[in-house]
Structure 1
Amino acid sequence: QLRRHERPHERWAAPALEGQRLISKLNPFPGMKHLDVAGGTGDVAFRVVERIKSVSHRATQGTLTDMEEDTHIYVCDINPNMLEVGKKRAAEKGYNEEQCLSWVQGDAEALSFEDGSMDGYTIAFGIRNVTHIEKALSEAYRVLKKGGRFLCLELSHVDVPVFKDIYDIYSFSVIPAVGELVAGDRQSYQYLVESIRRFPKQEKFAQMIQEAGFEAVEYENLVGGVVAIHSGVKL
């Protein structure tokens, strides 16, 4: 499970390019039931909502459809502080929580949602902090409907030789030092670097997703592998 003592700066939000690519692969649609895990700050959920609104309004010239009213995005996070950040951001954006967004405190390894209840599942920069990745993947598979899509955006392993050497020096030496200088917290940033190194490489993680039952498993490296998007479908 995610560490309960995390502070906001220890959890990455999806940057614009990576976040847009994740949503593009998810291809949200009106009436969708979607679960975003470890997404308490709302970054991915807000993107999903906006994409669905955009698709729906283009198709109906701005009229609210029954399908759009059926849309529901669940944001699940083990850390209540993260959820409070997300709720505050949702209020600032003018979202009606009762209509399309629900905030749920929960564990990625033991989700409270019913079997086959979700059309989509995303987890962005969160699965690296899960204690038992296999359990989280199994739960993702369980809660998805047949045809449901699994998408994971995560810091990964650089696959460009020269870039890899530079990135290793930067991550092991520069990132912890910057964390100490800017946030006065070298330990958290050191943990960030070490957790990336412990996380399975792209091929291995893809194999783990397949072993959880997913089909059509693939991954896409972004920024030379600094970040990767893994995806799979429940058939």
Structure 2
Amino acid sequence: MAASIGAAPCRTLFRRSCGKRLSAAWGLLGGARGLVAQGETHLGFQTVPEAEKEQRVYQVFESVAKKYDIMNDSMSFGIHRLWKDILLHQMNPYPGTQLLDVAGGTGDIAFRFINYVRSQREYRLRQKLKSHQNLSWQEISKSYQEEALKPLGGSQVVICDINKEMVKVGKQKAQLLGYTEGLSWVVGNAEELPFDDDKFDIYTIAFGIRNVTHIDQALQEAYRVLQPGGRFLCLEFSQVNNPLISRLYDLYSFQVIPVLGEIIAGDWKSYQYLVESIRQFPAQEEFKAMIEDAGFLKVEYRNLTAGIVAIHSGFKL
């Protein structure tokens, strides 16, 4: 364990000093890898100056914000909902948990978190009442009234997203669905989070980390804001581990998804970028090593849908 902790800063410094890392340069159905020059990064399959990427990604999500949820359902045939449900079950939060959801956009993870914690608290209340069969109805009624006053048991979720338009859509969605308690919204950058050290129990980022300019910095920030014992959870597109499924997935991604983007959101280019950004993201083992470089221990991943997405987990110990 001590050796892995000591090795992490060395590997991180090596990345920074080199200023480059391997990136995918896939063609339509595959391709070769190449090096990105120092001071440059990739925006999909384009190579751009690092200073430009953040603004250009911002414009992508500003463009798609209003149709983001509809497009997620259309592109994944609704399977993204199942992936997010699995993330919450793996998280298994308890009443009182403090969650930071980065790149939380339209609130999908936050709303699931609130529902999960609420159901856990209700379950515990029912179990408590079952163990006290001699309670009067007044005492039972009082217990439920107390539950209604504090249904989340002190749990809070902070949604942090760099894009103001995504936050705006998320707030509107929360209001429409009736989520008012235990929820707050912050406009902030994953690479420089506006929070104190050791603040949260759990950090989540779903389908967002591949869009940051410096993934290593975002991971270091995740480590910083978590309390000792806190957990990092990342749901992200990954590398398909079945050759046949991989070919079909590439065909669907490049030939269908941009067309859906044009039809539903009136935006071909943004969804072309999103497809390309998936191919540029590190494979499971490489991303696992990056999480370890940031200082996390007990790092592991779980492939979903043949590796189309993966859940990476690590702990600040």
Instruction: Measure, in 2, the Cα distance between the counterparts of 1:101 and 1:174.
Output: 36
Aligned to 1:209, the other structure's residue is in SS state helix
State the 1:172 CA deviation.
2.1
Aligned pair 1:59/2:124, yes or no? yes
CA 66–168 in structure 1, closer or farther in 2 if over 3 Å, else same = closer
Q: Counterpart of 1:169?
A: 251
- 1:50-129 alignment, distance < 5 Å: 50-61=115-126, 62=144, 63-64=146-147, 68-96=152-180, 99-129=181-211
Q: Counterpart of 2:86?
A: 21
1:46 to 75, 87, 111: 111
State the 1:166 CA deviation.
1.4
The superposition leaves residues 168-210 of structure 1 with CA deviations (integer Å, 9 ceiling, x where unpaired) of 2222222223323443322111101110111001110011001
The superposition leaves residues 1-47 of structure 1 with CA deviations (integer Å, 9 ceiling, x where unpaired) of 57222222468588221011100111111111110000121110000
Which ranges in structure 2 are unaligned for 5 or more consecutive residues?
A: 1-53, 74-78, 127-143
Q: Counterpart of 1:213?
A: 295
Aligned to 2:223, the other structure's residue is in SS state helix
Aligned to 1:70, the other structure's residue is in SS state coil
1:187 to 243, 248, 269: 269
Contact 1:31-1:67 at 8 Å conserved across structures: no
Instruction: Measure, in 2, the Cα distance between the counterparts of 1:102 and 1:71.
Output: 12
- 1:2-21 alignment, distance < 5 Å: 3-5=57-59, 6=61, 7-8=64-65, 9=67, 12=72, 15-21=80-86
TM-score normalised by structure 2 residue count: 0.69
Aligned to 1:120, the other structure's residue is in SS state strand
State the 1:80 CA deviation.
1.1
TM-score normalised by structure 1 residue count: 0.92
Count of aligned residue pairs for this structure pair = 233
CA 67–140 in structure 1, closer or farther in 2 if over 3 Å, else same = farther
What amino acid does structure 2 have at the position aligned with 1:88? Q
Aligned to 1:75, the other structure's residue is in SS state strand
What amino acid does structure 1 have at the position aligned with 2:197? D
What amino acid does structure 1 have at the position aligned with 2:190? A
Contact 2:223-2:295 at 8 Å conserved across structures: yes
- The percent of aligned pairs where both chains have the same amino acid is 52
Report the structure number with the largest CA radius of gyration.
2
State the 1:161 CA deviation.
1.1
Aligned to 2:89, the other structure's residue is in SS state helix
State the 1:88 CA deviation.
1.3
Contact 2:156-2:182 at 8 Å conserved across structures: yes
Contact 2:233-2:314 at 8 Å conserved across structures: yes
CA 217–46 in structure 1, closer or farther in 2 if over 3 Å, else same = same
Which ranges in structure 1 are unaligned for 5 or more consecutive residues?
A: none
State the 1:66 CA deviation.
6.6
Instruction: Measure, in 1, the Cα distance between the counterparts of 2:152 and 2:275.
Output: 41
Aligned to 2:201, the other structure's residue is in SS state strand
- 1:127-166 alignment, distance < 5 Å: 127-166=209-248
Q: Counterpart of 1:201?
A: 283
What amino acid does structure 2 have at the position aligned with 1:160? N
1:178 to 253, 260, 278: 260
